[in-house]
Amino acid sequence: MLKTQDNNFPYEAFLMQTMQSNTATATVVPAAGQDVFARLTAWATPVTKVDMSNLNFAVAQRLVASDATARNMLSQLLSNMAKAHDLQERAKATVRTIHSGSRWAHYEGEAIYDARKIMARIVLERDELRRETIAYARLVKQLKATATGAEYDKLAKQVADTKQMLDDKRAVHNAAMATAKVQLQSAEDELLHCHNPQAVGEVIELLQEQESDFGQARSIRKQLEVDLNAFEDYVASLG
């Protein structure tokens, strides 16, 4: 087993010879399949003890160090990881702030916030349903302009199926909208009659900030997965 503590072994020369002979590749990632933060941290942490289990990765790190493009790619990845981490920590701090305040304000604020979110989602679904209805109207118009025959029969079936689908979706949507309106109205009424609406309003703002920060962090993490894979592919191409 190779150990860097053995001063009699020429590790620098061995690693350089390995790189030049291409006997090791950069495709071996020590944290493959694990959290993207752990994988990036591994790339940013120089191997200090080399053995046969991490030799390829030690070589890969040397390849990164010797290539300006790879260094820049890794630097950007680490910068984005830091942003995601900061957003996550800020969101967690916001959660702690919410829970450290009035339990009643937290309850009321969360009820209103959730009711508004549900209504916003249903409004988006309504808009999508309207677009689908317009597309259905175009399909009906196309059917009326089509002569009898196989094409007409095909369109007629498509129109019938689309109408049934829209009717089903509209029924579900209308029921959900009615329920959401009642829930939102109830939550808003509670806010109007509560003894400290300002505290509830502050909770709602904190919940918005928390969701925004967590959402941005998730988006960055998702992109990090893609960018890290591209980085590793590039490093592998250097071998």
What are 190's two structure tokens? 């509670």
Could you tell me if 107 and 186 lie in one domain?
Answer: yes
Could you tell me if 71 and 138 lie in one domain?
Answer: no
Could you tell me if 123 and 158 lie in one domain?
Answer: yes
Strands (E), 30-170: none
Could you tell me if 134 and 76 lie in one domain?
Answer: no
211 inside domain: no
Residues 6+ apart with CB under 8 A from 142: 155
89 inside domain: no
Contact 109, 188 (CB under 8 A): no
147 inside domain: yes
Mean pLDDT score of the chain: 86
Q: Give how many domains the chain has, as a whole number.
A: 2
200 inside domain: no
Could you tell me if 57 and 130 lie in one domain?
Answer: no
Instruction: Say how far residue 146 (Cα) sits from the centre of its chain.
Output: 46
Query: What is the predicted pLDDT for the residue at 6?
Result: 45
Query: What is the predicted pLDDT for the residue at 3?
Result: 38
What are 115's two structure tokens? 């009711």
Contact 68, 215 (CB under 8 A): no
Residue 64 has pLDDT above 70, yes or no: yes
What are 170's two structure tokens? 């509209």
Query: What are the pLDDT digits (tens) for 108-127?
Result: 999 999 999 999 999 999 99
What are 205's two structure tokens? 């703002």
2 inside domain: no
Query: What is the predicted pLDDT for the residue at 114?
Result: 95
Task: List Cβ<8 Å contacts ≥24 apart for 194-197.
Answer: 194/108, 196/102, 196/105
205 inside domain: no
Structural domain of 71? 11-84+227-238
210 inside domain: no
Q: How far apart are CA 195 and CA 201, in angstroms?
A: 12
Percent of the chain at pLDDT > 90 equals 64
3 inside domain: no
Could you tell me if 129 and 182 lie in one domain?
Answer: yes
Question: What angle (nearest 5°) sits at the alpha carbon of residue 39, between those of residues 37 and 44?
Answer: 90
Could you tell me if 146 and 74 lie in one domain?
Answer: no
Query: What is the predicted pLDDT for the residue at 65?
Result: 92
Could you tell me if 67 and 109 lie in one domain?
Answer: no
Q: How far apart are CA 34 and CA 13, in angstroms?
A: 32
What are 218's two structure tokens? 């998730």
Could you tell me if 109 and 177 lie in one domain?
Answer: yes
Could you tell me if 153 and 232 lie in one domain?
Answer: no
Contact 57, 63 (CB under 8 A): no
